[in-house]
Amino acid sequence: MPYPSRPVLKPLEEFKGSATVRQSPEQRARLIAFAAEQYVAGRSLRQIAELTDRTQTAIRRALAAAGVPTRGPGAPARPRR
């Protein structure tokens, strides 16, 4: 039995198409704040990238600019019984 496909998030209107034009400092600040807020809330780099119409690398750089440490790769470890 195959696994169901993962849902793909649609870009938010405020970020849609903004990756293809030069950003203003205000737009860049909004992207950095949004990425940091969402990452700290538990979203993945992939999810934030889809919501902002950016690459995961762009989101990683935004998090670095915000001073947010990134989590390690993979799912969190399950507690041992």
Q: How far apart are CA 16 and CA 56, in angstroms?
A: 15
What predicted TM-score, i.e. pTM, was given to this entire model?
0.83
Q: Name the nearest CA neighbour of 48 among 32, 69, 64.
A: 32
Q: Which pLDDT score, from 0 to 100, does residue 35 have?
A: 97
CA distance 5 to 54: 21
6-36 pLDDT tens trace: 888 999 999 888 888 888 899 999 999 999 9
CB atoms within 10 A of CB 12: 12
Can you tell me the distance from the alpha carbon of 10 to that of 66, in angstroms, rounded to the nearest whole number? 24
pLDDT digits (tens, 9 = 90+) for 34-79: 999 999 999 999 999 999 999 999 999 999 999 999 998 877 778 8
